[in-house]
Structure 1
């Protein structure tokens, strides 16, 4: 995910007008189903809740140091894409491996400074994204991620995936997280993902509320 190794020389500078046009098309794709947009600024209370939950998970996490040691570099990094269809194929494979809940994803298709955002948080850097996934994975219990569809945009500047996440969390009150969402993967001229933006069928407040809601059911083995 570091600027993508397949680019021999410096990447061409994309005109601001082109970048803005791409951003508008991606925003339309995210809003097309009426789901909660990730561009809306989360209230301060939600940001504080996310920070608090993150800190709790960091303290409780059994993962110390560099995890994912059992995953080979080839599996984690893969081969950079050379077309939009390549990116679709690689992302499809990552979803089949349930990368949301395993933390194993093809980092080579992401730019080093890729932006990651959802209705509760926004940050930059694929290394930080990998660490965040690594932090969450140990707390998932009976997780599943179902890919409903994945397709490239008409102008091939982005890819849109629709999915469903369901998992219990290994916390004393056994909360159930259930979210239907979609992710827009915005691409640069070298087919690297420069923006990974999620939107959900529930609001950011409802999503945070799920974490603090006790589950009356038990995950079945």
Structure 2
């Protein structure tokens, strides 16, 4: 007698309680296929060298910017030897009027800084010294240092490299431990190619809890660091028109 062999197709047509068992058996391979598909469809891993390249590029930019910063400081010091000594607006120590007598509370410090903006203290060095701690930290994207007198000297020397400048305080914010002054700045440098620097940014003024004076002065620029540096080497439109 011939044996009856059940084909795979016939098992799919089985009815009753055996049919439910067969349906389960037939669905399992589909689930396995989906699992295998998900494994093969995973996003490829990021190249391990991409992060290292970005970090190296950032270090290189910081090194160039720092070299330019120290170079400008030395250039300003050299130029100061050929510049006549300006007459101070206030006391003999170079402090501006209104800051020499007595100490200032935080409210007085804030008002003094706002007045210093009107004098474009970034490029004139005319700032209220009494509003700052002597060992105040001054920082910007290029680096940082401590010392109020050094900051004043650098600002004054930088101003000697400019033909004209314009600085405006556009917004002021008072927070718990600091104030933020938002500004807009532009200038024409006295180099032969007359480059024009233009930027917006903000400065954070951190106050000492006891004295109320500024203990940290942190500049932030709203333009990329290298873009600002490249402006120094770009001739102004005035040069091209002269040609």
> Normalized against structure 1, the TM-score is what?
0.72
After superposition, where does 1:43-58 map in structure 2 within 5 Å?
43-58=62-77
After superposition, where does 1:18-37 map in structure 2 within 5 Å?
none
Contact 1:140 1:168 in 2 (8 A): yes
After superposition, where does 1:49-88 map in structure 2 within 5 Å?
49-61=68-80, 62-63=82-83, 67-73=85-91, 75=96, 77-79=99-101, 80-82=103-105, 84-88=106-110
Contact 1:101 1:144 in 2 (8 A): no
Match of 2:77, SS state, is helix
Contact 1:110 1:193 in 2 (8 A): yes
After superposition, where does 1:121-132 map in structure 2 within 5 Å?
121-132=143-154
Q: Which of 204, 213, 220 in structure 2 is aligned with 1:199?
A: 220
The farther-off stretch of 139-148 and 193-202 is: 139-148
Change (3 A) 1:140 1:172: same
The farther-off stretch of 184-193 and 51-60 is: 51-60
Aligned to 1:6: none
CA distance in structure 2 between the aligned counterparts of 1:60 and 1:131, rounded to whole angstroms? 12
Instruction: Please list the CA deviations of residues 135-187 of structure 1 after superposition, one character each: whole Å capped at 9, or x if unmatched.
Output: 1111122211011011211x2x1010000011000011101010101000000
After superposition, where does 1:7-18 map in structure 2 within 5 Å?
none
Contact 1:164 1:179 in 2 (8 A): yes
Higher-helix-fraction structure: 2
> 1:137 aligned to 2:155?
no
1:52 Cα deviation from its structure 2 partner:
2.3
> 1:208 aligned to 2:229?
yes
Unaligned stretches of 5+ residues in structure 2: 1-57
Change (3 A) 1:97 1:52: closer
Q: Which of 174, 191, 196 in structure 2 is aligned with 1:152?
A: 174
- The structure whose RCO (Cα within 8 Å, separation 6+) is larger is 1
Aligned to 1:34: none
Q: Paired residues, what number?
A: 174
Instruction: Please list the CA deviations of residues 34-92 of structure 1 after superposition, one character each: whole Å capped at 9, or x if unmatched.
Output: xxxxxx9862122112222332333344336xx4443321626434321x322221111
Bigger-Rg structure (1/2): 2
Instruction: Please provide the CA RMSD for this pair.
Output: 2.1
CA distance in structure 1 between the aligned counterparts of 2:131 and 2:79, rounded to whole angstroms? 31
